[in-house]
Structures are given as structure tokens and as C-alpha cells.
Structure 1
Amino acid sequence: MKPYNKNLKQVSRDLRNNMTEAERLLWSKLRGKQILGLQFYRQKPLLNFIVGFYCPSANLVIECDGSQHYTIDGLEADRVRDEALGELGLIVLRFDNGQVLNEIDAVVEMIFDVIHVQLESPSCET
């Protein structure tokens, strides 16, 4: 199990109950082991962060980014976060909300492709 801040458990529960429209749509495609039979978790605490979606079998984090992520501060915070998650051996995929809402099939295909490569990699823990 990857390390996480236990103080984030309630916050992650609140986020699961208040997902954005883009997060709900993406979750409808990830839940129930629809992609290669793999389990995804939503609003999962990892380190001192809460990631949008997490697939431990593929060492993959998926984020749906709203407009706040495209400010100078938001981009820097995401860079720091992605670097910290990368140090745990995780790959972070980021999609903006518009991509998810308007191009969901392409988003799911990209996720599938990344997972497929990850599962073939000898460094991936399955």
C-alpha cells in the first residue's frame, strides 16, 4: 500500500460525494473493472494529496483538471504533486474537464493504452 496522510480520509469521502460532472463521467468508464479488469479507486489519498482516480495494479493516477489548474500557481502545484507521485513510481495522466466531457472515448482509449504499456513493463507491480 502506498503511504498517505490519514487526516485526508474524511476530505476524500467528501470529495467522492461531491464529484464534478467530468469526474462522474470518467468514473462511469473506470468503475466496475471495465478497463482490462483492473480496480480503480476515486478520490484516493496518496502522500499528502488526494488523487482523482488511482489504479494500483498499473501504478496509474488520473486527474480531471478544472480551470484552477491552469493558473501559474495551479501549474506549479501540479508539477510538485506529479513529481512527488512519480517518486512513488506512479504515472500521472491529466485531462482537462473539456476533454473528458467532449472526448470521453479518446480519453478512455488513452488510459487503456497507458495501462497496457504499464502492465507489459517489468517494473510494474501486479
Structure 2
Amino acid sequence: MPPDPYPNNKPWQAHTRQRLRTDGTPAEAALWRRLQRRQLGGLRFRRQFGVGPYVLDFYCPAARLAVELDGAVHDDPARAAYDATRTHHLARVGVRVIRFENRRVFDEPDAVLAAIAEAAGLA
């Protein structure tokens, strides 16, 4: 994996990261309750973590894994194109991205956690 050429959690992102944590979606809050404090296989996840120019919903540095939750706004073609560009950039710096629709966090929480564990190399 190539190292990330950008420093993480850039100072100019601090306000954005804090706002995203404060104004997060209910799905983000629900998933965070299951990921925080190394509850998933002992892996440490960070919430609203900056990698390069992007702020990720959840990031596991040990697995170089980003977990993104998508609401209805991500159905917009312009947003989908932005997400594809973002995912491509993150892949170039060695970060894998997995995405879930917000509703899956509530409808299938165990399946979401199992998919995250598998992507992180735990399963």
C-alpha cells in the first residue's frame, strides 16, 4: 500500500469534523455505539476522521478501512459521481471504502457489523 501523501486530520478540517460529529445522522450515532471502544474485534475506529482532503464517517487505521453511511442524498447522480471520485482517491492511497445505506444500520445491524469485520480481515 502506498502511504497517504496527505497528513490526516488537517487543521483546516477541524471545524468540519466537529460539525459532522455534532450533526451526525441517527444511523451514524447507532453504528458508532457499536464500533466505539474497540467493540468490533478489538479494532479502533475513529469517527469523522480526515484522510487527505476527505472526512470519512468512520475509519479504522489498522485495517486502512473507511466505512461510509449513505442517505438519500447519495442517490443524486452528481453526488454519486463525487463519491466515486472520492473512493478512487482513497483507493489510490491504500484506503478501502465500504458503504451502507443508513436504513441497513437499523434493519440489519448484525449483517452490517459482520460485513465490516470481514472487510477489516476479522472474519
Common fold by TM > 0.5:
yes
Q: How many Å separate the matches in 2 of 1:41 and 1:117?
A: 18
Q: CA deviation at 1:6?
A: 2.5
Which has the larger share of helix?
A: 1
Percent of aligned pairs with the same amino acid: 33
Q: How many Å separate the matches in 2 of 1:96 and 1:8?
A: 25
Q: CA deviation at 1:48?
A: 1.2
Structure 1 length as normaliser, TM-score?
Answer: 0.87
Q: List gaps (5 residues or longer) in structure 1.
A: 119-126
- Who is 2:86 aligned against? 81
Contact 2:41 2:122 in 1 (8 A): no
The number of residue pairs the alignment matches comes to 118
Q: How many Å separate the matches in 2 of 1:47 and 1:6?
A: 11
SS in 2 for 1:58: coil
Spell out structure 1 runs of 4+ moving beyond 2 A.
1-6
- Who is 1:92 aligned against? 97
Q: How many Å separate the matches in 1 of 2:93 and 2:59?
A: 13
Verify: 1:108 aligned to 2:113, yes or no: yes
Q: List gaps (5 residues or longer) in structure 2.
A: none
- Who is 1:124 aligned against? none
- Who is 1:23 aligned against? 28
Q: Say what the alpha-carbon RMSD is for the aligned residues.
A: 1.6
Structure 2 length as normaliser, TM-score?
Answer: 0.90
The match for 1:72 among 53, 64, 77 is 77
